[in-house]
Amino acid sequence: MKIGTPTEVEAGENRVAMTPDSARQLQKLGHDCLIQSGAGLKAGFADALYEEAGVTVVEDADALWSQSDIIAKVRIPTLDELDRLTPEKTLITFFNPGGNAEGLEKAKEKGASVLAMEMVPRISRAQKMDALSSMANIAGYRAVIEAGNNFGRFFTGQVTAAGKVPPAKVLVVGAGVAGLAAIGTSTSLGAITYAFDVRPEVAEQVESMGAEFVYLDFEEEQADGSGSGGYASVSSPEFREAQLAKFRELAPEMDIVITTALIPNREAPKLWLADMVAAMKPGSVIIDLAAEKGGNVEGTVKDEKVVTENGVTIVGYTDFPSRMATQSSTLYATNIRHMMTDLTPEKDGKVNHNMDDDVIRGATVTHKGEITFPPPPPKVQ
């Protein structure tokens, strides 16, 4: 089959869903690869690199979409892109099926198969295709880099002839995939790092990374916050109050706060309130990785950087993976390549869209003229 990757149409999106390396692997599965001219440029992959890897470079989006049987892309497709689908084509991409009824209808009307990367079940076998995790990992790393870029001091403490510099204090709120990546990056830069999560089971992971887990003075303990499937549930009002009291205590001491707290299918909980921002020292930095879902911080402006009256910088960017496009394209293209491996079990260039396979079924949101979202729960954990 012919697998093609177009240039992303969303302004400011730098990632690409196929790299020269992933194309080499896709060809080993018996597929031919196509790329739209210039699609990889912003991620550091020029057309010539694809040509060297045996990829056919096509002139424009028309040629790419019409010649490809399978289209792999990054961003949620526009309705114009979906219009290019036919019943014979398969699209693999982020799709946000839970909030994209119009897109689902359009893909159904076109009779195409769509696999949504955010729907890959979070089971062990599918970790290699888990694009939410690969992108969250990058976002967590980049959050610390972004914080450093806006912070006027070192992370690590130093004693020099020119004076003694105290280490920065960093608090990471939410120790999921992005939070753990932020913790690892922060400790490796030498900051004193603290982390909090409503799921008590992450305390050990946090501590093993050299950070300090923040415990609450709360009788029922943090067990309160564990929901199903490794995700958080909504906290009780009492627990929330204990959490906010602890954050109020920490706010004047912290130089950098990185918030990553999310609860599936809900707006992000507001955890770092205006009075906590006001209590921080001038020059402190907050990176709100939950900005896409409304933000954990009072004062976050989505996709912007603001400086408060007391001199605290609040960053609400939602495109951290795109800001590291070479790395994120490499990991995302690998996620796609693994998905294609599962879709090509005989490695003969023929796709077997096996709806009895938990992973393929879970990710498929439209198939043969039907909307197949939401999927049934996976059989294997």
- Mind telling me the catalytic residues? 122, 127, 130, 133, 231
DSSP 299-321: T--TT-EEE-TTS-EEE--S-TG
Q: Which stretch binds ligand NAD (CB under 6 A): 41-49, 170-178, 318-326, 334-342?
A: 170-178
- Answer yes or no whether residue 177 interacts with ligand NAD by CB under 6 A: yes
- Answer yes or no whether residue 362 interacts with ligand NAD by CB under 6 A: no
Size of the site for ligand NAD (CB under 6 A): 29
The alpha carbons of the chain give a radius of gyration, in whole angstroms, of 22
Q: Rounded to whole angstroms, how far apart are CA atoms 361 and 274?
A: 44
- Answer yes or no whether residue 377 interacts with ligand NAD by CB under 6 A: no
Q: Rounded to whole angstroms, how far apart are CA atoms 321 and 327?
A: 8
Helix or strand holding residue 222 (H, E): none
Going through the chain in order, the beta strands assigned E by DSSP cover 2-5, 32-36, 56-58, 70-72, 90-93, 113-116, 158-160, 163-165, 169-173, 192-196, 212-213, 256-259, 285-288, 305-307, 313-315, 364-367, 370-371
- Answer yes or no whether residue 338 interacts with ligand NAD by CB under 6 A: no
* Cβ atoms of residues 64 and 32 within 8 Å: no
Q: Rounded to whole angstroms, how far apart are CA atoms 361 and 352?
A: 12
Among positions 35, 76, 91, 175, the unique one binding ligand NAD when judged by CB under 6 A: 175
Please list the residues that pair with 33 across neighbouring strands. 3
Q: Which is nearer to ligand NAD, 69 or 118 (CB)?
A: 118
- Least distance to ligand NAD from the beta carbon of 125, Å? 9
* Cβ atoms of residues 94 and 117 within 8 Å: yes
Q: Which is nearer to ligand NAD, 173 or 314 (CB)?
A: 173
- Least distance to ligand NAD from the beta carbon of 307, Å? 25
Q: Which stretch binds ligand NAD (CB under 6 A): 71-79, 88-96, 145-153, 257-265?
A: 257-265
Binders of ligand NAD among 197-216, rule CB under 6 A?
A: 197-199
Among positions 54, 99, 152, 230, the unique one binding ligand NAD when judged by CB under 6 A: 230
Residue nearest ligand NAD, CB atom distance: 176
- Answer yes or no whether residue 139 interacts with ligand NAD by CB under 6 A: no
Q: Per-residue x/- marks for ligand NAD, 93-132, CB under 6 A?
A: -----------------------------x-x--x--x-x
Q: How far is CA 365 from CA 84, 110, 112, 119, 350, in A?
A: 17, 13, 10, 8, 21
- Answer yes or no whether residue 174 interacts with ligand NAD by CB under 6 A: yes
Q: Rounded to whole angstroms, how far apart are CA atoms 235 and 247?
A: 15
- Answer yes or no whether residue 231 interacts with ligand NAD by CB under 6 A: yes
Q: Rounded to whole angstroms, how far apart are CA atoms 197 and 250?
A: 15
- Least distance to ligand NAD from the beta carbon of 55, Å? 30
Which positions lie near ligand NAD, rule CB under 6 A?
122, 124, 127, 130, 132-133, 136, 173-179, 196-199, 230-232, 235, 260-264, 269, 271
